[in-house]
Structure 1
């Protein structure tokens, strides 16, 4: 199988997913409360076995899932993606105990995961994050023979380095916050060290000092801010190695960036199909709307860009599955092209539908709100261009 074609079994699976999304997931999505985690929808994704596939499938399968679900139910696609984004660091870097505690519950939809990287001052520049993980020093109290008040504590770090920290600071624009059951949190353990001084922690939501609030966004996803007031974490909560958390974050994003593109392709395809149906049936100027050359050429352009984006997404995902050396650049290209394409296609679809597409509840009104965010999250389009250029020049210098 190449990056440029899918096997019949894969095509059949995609069709099955679109049917499941329309018949079983769409009704649950409609019952959800905007801006909040839809636990019934997540549980259904678990019962269908889709969440479990997050930990057994490669990047291409993830892309096929996200595109197929997005075509019929963007809410289901987003719920699945957020479970994967929050839990992948545990799957890839967690200890046996961490994995045993959380991954089965993520897979069956009974535990909600979240990926907590962005901050008010560190969005696109993720290496600039300021959430502090401060070592907690040990207090050794001496009270000779149990007489009199205890002596003042003598504070000392553990002999082999700090085994406990306190997290202090803020995270913002965190999906599934503040309703998640656990968070993959990235905090600075080495001040002034840039990307090399970040550690990833698995933080259960019930830790003392961890609070949050929801944010009212353009598209009503469950997104919020988190406040960390000396939240305790230990060495048992570390994902990967101390001061090596940035590679945990980037590894996760390299996997999920092509699938963000797949999400965008699913929306673009839904908008394109709606436009084909509308222009074929709409009477205008003595014929059908599709008979106007300006309209038919616009539809052709929409189809061309959608297919090009799909192929690039598949190529990037296949490169990831093959452990190719140019995954960061390919992932950035796929995410950039697909999200920008989806914005173009959905906007063109709205224009060709006219005022009806602006009515609340119309498919395109929904897609118009949904399609904007992917150009920003998991690295804005400008960040993707920077990654692409960096990879190109590194390759040129290596020749």
Structure 2
């Protein structure tokens, strides 16, 4: 029976697979093998195991990590003058650099035995998040050495000798690292870089040694202008076959001291008015000994694999931390400003058009913080979920863009006048930088999240593709014959589950116990997990290799997977916090918004599916009723916005970690005005009942004379009026000073 099946079923199918699926390149295979699958695989199983996610527990800091966050990280924020850094000096002042070195901010991830702090991914993330609420420039400066770069690569792949020499120097800031990956000819497509090295012999420290002669041009390299050691990625060739028969050896990564002969470094880019050090570098006939390769000569050609592995974790911390900090800062300050700023004698936060934006900002901050915490919790356990960290990078930076845009709209003129009092302008300018780096969001969304996720997370597809490519056809046939029955059973269960939950709109999907008012949302995640899994199966079967080229279809399905992950994390955070009823408005707004987006993307997939019959069939099977979940109601939006307009535990919980500024800072001024306005609200109501609607010193005196308020209430209202007047001010400068660039 087995032989008949192979002959009449498996072998013809093997030929079909070979014909419709494109070959997997070595770089694609290394990218797909980098990191691990985790909750993304559960979401693409059609039946996620919630116990696995909820039993992880919340992320936690140990005493030492918390002390660092409350101590040196807080002190650093107090030292920073972001206006001075960004608009006057265009650099971090020396005393801040020295503080960063002294307190090992560049060695957050480096183990203690090498002189670093040895902190967890969660601590790393919380530190960067806090700093970024004060200054993107300093946040990026701390972020980069602890992300994709020499430190992380040395820890994972370096020789012991390299670790012993470099890691202590990186931890205490003796060496400042940068990493040279991006070339003018190769951005996201690093495999097409033309930076070239050739194996040869050369002189090093007075001896003839085996090494490489390398030429390169890199750009957009953060910390590049001031780096003392350069992590360098290049393609290595062996034209004289010194190392063996192969001429093209592949991407290789080496550590190059920047004072090496032939290295040109020090020029700066000016990225979108950000002051962090970033610039190009060049190498002309630079001789690099083999011992400078990270991991030594045995790691020749393994650079792409090393980079993908490092990036799998780095994407989950660096930019998501910066983005989460920015969104939380936007939520805190915009809620405060909308409460104290009045038009027509009403706080602008009470206008429904503003409330809809406030609700959106609050929900974005809630979702990003939830996903950020869940992802770093997974990293704490040693996981490296590559697809999920790509989701985090794209979703967090995209969410930051929306939150900052909404915050700018609500602040209006307050946010578009530059100066020390403007706490949003620099965040607004930083967004395009975050969107672009570590893999541009456009390509991450269209090529990676679903393109790799569908294959990596599927229990059988990747193995089937590898079986089809097996040069030993008989062995490949045997492998495929073993996989196909399992895959077909998986497809059958997926079809039943997807159709059942689609037609019953998730009413009978399961939900974990003890999840408070969130049970219905757990059921909807289960529903759309089943639908996405079914749509993925149909897409892979009917489109095959063509799916790789249908980037808009992949993008939409990637958006569905991304939303399922973000919403799963939001539910986990609500569960970890003890299902607080006060947070329900945030949860409801976020869940309805995300689920509605899922439905929109799926319906667009069906409408634009390259095989129209299958598009209509999937629509009929999985979403026969069309939209079943609508965005949050006006009532829910108002409830969500109100959480930012009044002091509450929810507001503090949502914006925990935001640096609230030094005395005289824009953030501190608005925060103080908010506190004073809210504290004097009852006295203000007495004035309004007496027909006095404005808040000013004059109106307070009138109320006092008419015995509407007490002396104590009058003092509180005067303080509030003065604080509001101070908070709504914008900066102004001497015209000549502005022209000649001497604004202080």
**Whole-angstrom distance in 1 between the partners of 2:360 and 2:302:** 44
Q: After the TM superposition, which of the residue ranges 35-44 and 365-374 deviates more from structure 2?
A: 35-44
- Corresponding residue number in structure 2 for 1:96: 160
Distance 2:334 2:98 in 1: 33
Determine whether 1:183 maps to 2:237: no
Deviations 1:275-316 (A, max 9, x none): 011101001122111111221221111111122112222222
Matching residue of 2:341: 282
Aligned mate of 1:376, from 422, 436, 440? 436
Q: 1:106 to 1:282 in 2, by over 3 A?
A: same
Partner of 1:199: 252
Aligned residue in 2 for 1:172: 219
CA shift for structure 1 position 120: 0.4
Q: Distance in 1 between matches of 2:270 and 2:334?
A: 30
Residue 207 to residue 130, structure 1, CA distance change in 2 (3 Å): same
TM-aligned CA deviation for residue 16 of structure 1: 5.0
CA positional deviation for 1:18:
5.8
Inter-partner Cα distance in structure 2 for 1:342 and 1:4: 26
Alpha-carbon distance in structure 2 between the residues aligned to 1:111 and 1:295: 48
C-alpha distance in structure 1 between counterparts of 2:211 and 2:249, whole Å: 19
User: Are 2:361 and 1:340 aligned?
Assistant: no
CA distance in 1 between partners of 2:89 and 2:261 (Å) = 28
Distance in 2, Cα, partners of 1:283 & 1:264: 29
Contact 2:198 2:237 (8 Å CA) reproduced: no
Aligned mates of 2:303, 2:425 — CA distance in 1: 39
Among candidates 270, 274, 278, match of residue 216 of structure 1: 270
Matched residues in 2 for 1:339 and 1:29: separation? 23
Aligned pairs for 1:119-138 (under 5 A) are 119-137=183-201
2:135 aligned to 69, 73, 77, which one? 73
> What does the per-residue CA deviation read over 1:229-278, in whole Å, with 9 as the maximum and x for residues that have no partner?
01111111001311001122122212211111111111111122110111
Match of 1:236 in 2: 291
Equivalent in the alignment of 2:103: 48
Match of 1:142 in 2: none
- Quick one: structure 1 residues 340 and 132, their matched pair in 2 at CA, closer, same or farther if it must change by over 3 Å? same
Further displaced range: 30-39 or 277-286: 30-39
Which structure features the higher share of strand residues? 1
Give the stretch that moved more between structures: 39-48 or 233-242.
39-48
In 2: Cα distance, 1:29 partner to 1:290 partner: 28
Per the alignment, in what secondary structure is the counterpart of residue 163 of structure 1?
Answer: strand
In structure 1, list runs of 5 or more residues that go unmatched.
Answer: 140-157
Deviations 1:339-360 (A, max 9, x none): 0000111111111101221122
Counterparts in 2 of 1:308 and 1:356: CA distance versus 1, 3 Å: same
Matched, 1:367 2:414: no
> Match of 1:221, SS?
coil
For 1:355 and 1:28, the matched residues in 2 are separated by 20
Q: Secondary structure at the match of 2:217?
A: strand
Whole-Å Cα distance in 2 between the matches of residues 286 and 350 of structure 1?
21
Aligned partners of 1:70 and 1:267 also within 8 Å: yes
Task: Provide TM-score, normalisation by structure 1.
Answer: 0.85
Classify 1:58/1:392 alpha carbon distance in 2 versus 1 (closer, same or farther; 3 Å).
farther
Cα distance change of structure 1 residues 174 and 72 upon mapping to structure 2, 3 Å threshold: same
Runs of 5+ in structure 2 lacking a partner?
1-53, 111-117, 239-245, 463-486, 488-744
CA distance in 2, matches of 1:346, 1:289: 18
What is the CA deviation profile of residues 164-191 of structure 1, one whole-angstrom value per residue up to 9, with x for unaligned ones? 1011020111111122000110010149
CA shift in 2, pair 1:286/1:31, >3 Å: closer
DSSP-derived class of the 1:258 partner: coil
Shift of 1:15: 5.3
Partner of 1:78, secondary structure, is: helix
8 Å CA contact retained: 2:58, 2:377: no
Deviation at 1:198, TM superposition (A): 0.5
Rate the CA distance shift 1:292–1:61 in 2: closer, same or farther, 3 A: same
Matched, 1:387 2:448: yes
**Number of equivalences:** 375
Aligned to 1:350: 408
Distance in 1 (CA, whole Å) between partners of 2:138 and 2:255 is 25
Task: Give the corresponding residue for 1:148.
Answer: none
Higher helix share goes to which structure?
Answer: 2
Q: Secondary structure at the match of 2:328?
A: helix
Are 1:330 and 2:330 counterparts? no
Aligned position for 2:612 = none
Shift of 1:90: 2.3
Partner of 1:315: 374
Shift of 1:338: 0.6
Relative distance call for 1:196 and 1:5 in structure 2 (3 A) is farther
Aligned 8 A contact 1:343 1:371 in 2: yes
Q: Name which one, 1 or 2, has greater alpha-carbon Rg.
A: 2
What is the rounded CA distance, in whole Å, between the counterparts of 1:368 and 1:202 in structure 2?
A: 35
Map Cα deviations across residues 347-381 of structure 1 (whole Å, 9 max, x no partner). 11111101221122311111111222111111111
Measure how far apart 1:38 and its partner are. 5.4
Q: Higher mean Cα deviation, 199-208 or 97-106?
A: 97-106
Query: What is the match of residue 302 of structure 1?
Result: 361
CA contact (8 A) 2:253 2:303 kept: yes
Partners of 2:184 and 2:56 lie apart in 1 by 38
CA contact (8 A) 2:229 2:258 kept: yes
Question: What secondary structure is seen at the aligned counterpart in 2 of 1:122?
Answer: coil
Q: Are 1:317 and 1:331, in contact at CA under 8 Å, matched by a contact in 2?
A: no
Aligned match of 1:144 = none
Instruction: Provide the C-alpha distance between the structure 1 equivalents of 2:61 and 2:260, rounded to a whole number of angstroms.
Output: 48
**Other-structure match for 1:262:** 321
Are the counterparts in 2 of residues 310 and 338 from structure 1 also a CA contact under 8 Å?
no
Equivalent residue in structure 2 for 1:247, among 291, 302, 305: 305
